[in-house]
Structure 1
Amino acid sequence: MSEHGSPSRPASGSEPINIGSAGARRGSVLANFLPVESLPIPIPALPSSFLATSPIVREILERDIQDCSSGCASEDEEDEEDRPHHQANGSHITDAQLAFHPNGVAYGCGYSTVALPGMDRPVPNPREVEESLQAELELLRDNDLIPPSSSQRHRSGSVVDSLYRSVFSTRVKDHEEAVETTPLLQQDSRDGREEEAEGAPTPPPEEIVERWEEAVANQSIKTTWQREAKTLVAYSAPLIATFLLHYSVTIGSVLTVGRLGMVELAAVNLATMTASITCYVPVQGLATCLDTLCAQAYGSGHKHLVGLQAQRMTWLLWLLMVPIAVLWWFSEPILRSLVPGEETAQLAALYLRVLILGMPGVAAFESGKRFVQSQGLFHATTYTLLIGAPLSFFQNWLFVFKLNWHFAGAATAMAVTQNLLPLLLVLYVRCFEGSECWKGFSWKAFSNWGPMIKLALPGMIMIEAQFSVLEILTIAAGQFGTAQLAAQSVLVTVTSTSFNIPFPLAIATSTRVANLIGAHLSSAAQTTAKVAIAAGCLVGLFNLTILATLRRQLALVFTADKDVVEIASTAMLVCAVMQVFDSLAAVSHGLLRGVGRQAIGGYANLFSYYFVALPISLSTAFALGWKLSGLWIGVTLGLAVVSALELLYLYNADWESAVAAAEARMKSEDASNINAEPKATQNGHN
Structure 2
Amino acid sequence: MGVDTPLLTNNHSDHEDEKKRNYVREFGSESRTLWKLAGPAIFTSICQYSLGALTQTFAGLVGEIELAAVSVENSVIAGLAFGVMLGMGSALETLCGQAFGAGQIRMLGVYMQRSWVILLTTACLLVPIYVWSPPILEVIGETTEISEAAGKFALWMLPQLFAYALNFPIQKFLQAQRKVLVMAWISFVVLVLHTFFSWLLILKLGWGLTGAAITLNTSWWLIVIIQLLYIFITKSDGAWAGFSWLAFADLWGFVKLSLASAVMLCLEFWYLMILVVITGRLPNPLIPVDAISICMNIQGWDAMIALGFNAAISVRVSNELGAGNAKAAKFAVVVVSVTSVAIGVVCMCVVFATRDYFPYLFTNSEAVAEETTQLAVLLGITVLLNSLQPVLSGVAVGAGWQSVVAYINIGCYYIVGLPAGILLGFTFGFGVEGIWSGMIGGICLQTIILIVITSITNWNTEAEEAESRVRKWGGGIVDN
Which of the numbers 36, 45, 48 marks the counterpart of 1:243? Answer: 45
Contact 1:540/1:581 (CA < 8 Å) preserved in 2? Answer: yes
Which of the numbers 326, 334, 340 marks the counterpart of 2:136? Answer: 334
Contact 2:93/2:172 (CA < 8 Å) preserved in 1? Answer: yes
| Residue equivalent to 2:415 | 611
Contact 1:506/1:589 (CA < 8 Å) preserved in 2? Answer: yes
Which of the numbers 658, 666, 670 marks the counterpart of 2:458? Answer: 658
SS at match of 2:206: coil
Q: Any idea what the Cα deviations from partners look like across 1:393-429, whole Å, max 9, x if unmatched?
A: 3333333322334455444432222222112213333
| Residue equivalent to 2:261 | 459
Does residue 163 of structure 2 align to residue 354 of structure 1?
Answer: no
The structure carrying a bigger helix percent of its residues is 2
CA distance in 1, matches of 2:156, 2:420: 36
Does residue 349 of structure 2 align to residue 545 of structure 1?
Answer: yes
Report the CA distance shift for 1:669/1:265 in structure 2 as closer, same or farther (over 3 A): same
- The within-5 A match list for 1:64-75 is none
Measure how far apart 1:335 and its partner are.
0.8
Does residue 385 of structure 2 align to residue 584 of structure 1?
Answer: no
Does residue 328 of structure 2 align to residue 536 of structure 1?
Answer: no
CA distance in 2, matches of 1:584, 1:344: 37
CA distance in 2, matches of 1:340, 1:333: 9
Report the CA distance shift for 1:239/1:484 in structure 2 as closer, same or farther (over 3 A): same
Which of the numbers 367, 376, 379 marks the counterpart of 1:575? Answer: 379
CA distance in 1, matches of 2:197, 2:61: 15
Report the CA distance shift for 1:428/1:575 in structure 2 as closer, same or farther (over 3 A): same
Contact 1:466/1:606 (CA < 8 Å) preserved in 2? Answer: no
Contact 2:78/2:161 (CA < 8 Å) preserved in 1? Answer: no
* Consecutive unaligned residues in structure 2, runs of 5 or more: 1-9
Report the CA distance shift for 1:410/1:644 in structure 2 as closer, same or farther (over 3 A): same
Report the CA distance shift for 1:288/1:221 in structure 2 as closer, same or farther (over 3 A): same
Contact 1:503/1:583 (CA < 8 Å) preserved in 2? Answer: no
Deviates more, 1:361-370 or 1:222-231: 222-231
Q: In percent, how many aligned pairs have the same letter?
A: 22
Q: Any idea what the Cα deviations from partners look like across 1:309-366, whole Å, max 9, x if unmatched?
A: 5445435433433342232122112211211533333333233222213222222212
Contact 1:575/1:632 (CA < 8 Å) preserved in 2? Answer: no
Contact 1:246/1:389 (CA < 8 Å) preserved in 2? Answer: yes
* Aligned residue pairs, count: 461
CA distance in 1, matches of 2:370, 2:90: 40
CA distance in 1, matches of 2:108, 2:239: 6
| Residue equivalent to 2:23 | 224
* Consecutive unaligned residues in structure 1, runs of 5 or more: 1-172, 181-187, 189-219
Measure how far apart 1:486 and its partner are.
4.9
Report the CA distance shift for 1:176/1:437 in structure 2 as closer, same or farther (over 3 A): same
Question: What code does the residue aligned with 1:318 have?
Answer: L
| Residue equivalent to 1:11 | none
SS at match of 2:458: helix
- The within-5 A match list for 1:296-445 is 303=106, 306-307=108-109, 309-373=111-175, 375-407=177-209, 409-430=211-232, 434=236
CA distance in 1, matches of 2:117, 2:219: 20
- The within-5 A match list for 1:26-175 is none
TM-score (norm 2): 0.76
Question: What code does the residue aligned with 2:73 have?
Answer: A
Contact 1:306/1:438 (CA < 8 Å) preserved in 2? Answer: yes
- The within-5 A match list for 1:664-675 is 665=465, 669=468
CA distance in 2, matches of 1:228, 1:469: 34
| Residue equivalent to 2:82 | 280
Contact 1:266/1:482 (CA < 8 Å) preserved in 2? Answer: no
Q: Any idea what the Cα deviations from partners look like across 1:15-48, whole Å, max 9, x if unmatched?
A: xxxxxxxxxxxxxxxxxxxxxxxxxxxxxxxxxx
| Residue equivalent to 2:6 | none
CA distance in 2, matches of 1:482, 1:545: 28
Contact 1:544/1:576 (CA < 8 Å) preserved in 2? Answer: yes
Q: Any idea what the Cα deviations from partners look like across 1:489-511, whole Å, max 9, x if unmatched?
A: 43333212212224433554566
Measure how far apart 1:541 and its partner are.
1.9
Measure how far apart 1:387 and its partner are.
0.9
| Residue equivalent to 1:475 | 277
SS at match of 1:434: helix
Does residue 301 of structure 2 align to residue 497 of structure 1?
Answer: yes
Contact 1:270/1:348 (CA < 8 Å) preserved in 2? Answer: yes
Task: Supply the RMSD in Å over aligned alpha carbons.
Answer: 4.6
Contact 1:263/1:482 (CA < 8 Å) preserved in 2? Answer: no
Contact 1:615/1:634 (CA < 8 Å) preserved in 2? Answer: yes
Report the CA distance shift for 1:538/1:279 in structure 2 as closer, same or farther (over 3 A): same
CA distance in 2, matches of 1:545, 1:421: 36
Contact 1:242/1:385 (CA < 8 Å) preserved in 2? Answer: yes
CA distance in 2, matches of 1:345, 1:176: 71
| Residue equivalent to 2:442 | 638
Contact 2:183/2:227 (CA < 8 Å) preserved in 1? Answer: yes
Question: What code does the residue aligned with 1:239 have?
Answer: A
Q: Any idea what the Cα deviations from partners look like across 1:163-205, whole Å, max 9, x if unmatched?
A: xxxxxxxxxx9x964988xxxxxxx9xxxxxxxxxxxxxxxxx
Contact 1:358/1:419 (CA < 8 Å) preserved in 2? Answer: yes
Contact 2:88/2:258 (CA < 8 Å) preserved in 1? Answer: yes
| Residue equivalent to 1:621 | 425
Report the CA distance shift for 1:355/1:501 in structure 2 as closer, same or farther (over 3 A): same
Measure how far apart 1:375 and its partner are.
4.9
Measure how far apart 1:629 and its partner are.
3.8
CA distance in 1, matches of 2:400, 2:161: 35
SS at match of 1:614: helix
CA distance in 1, matches of 2:334, 2:118: 43
Contact 2:171/2:183 (CA < 8 Å) preserved in 1? Answer: yes
SS at match of 1:500: helix
Question: What code does the residue aligned with 1:605 have?
Answer: N
Contact 2:260/2:403 (CA < 8 Å) preserved in 1? Answer: no
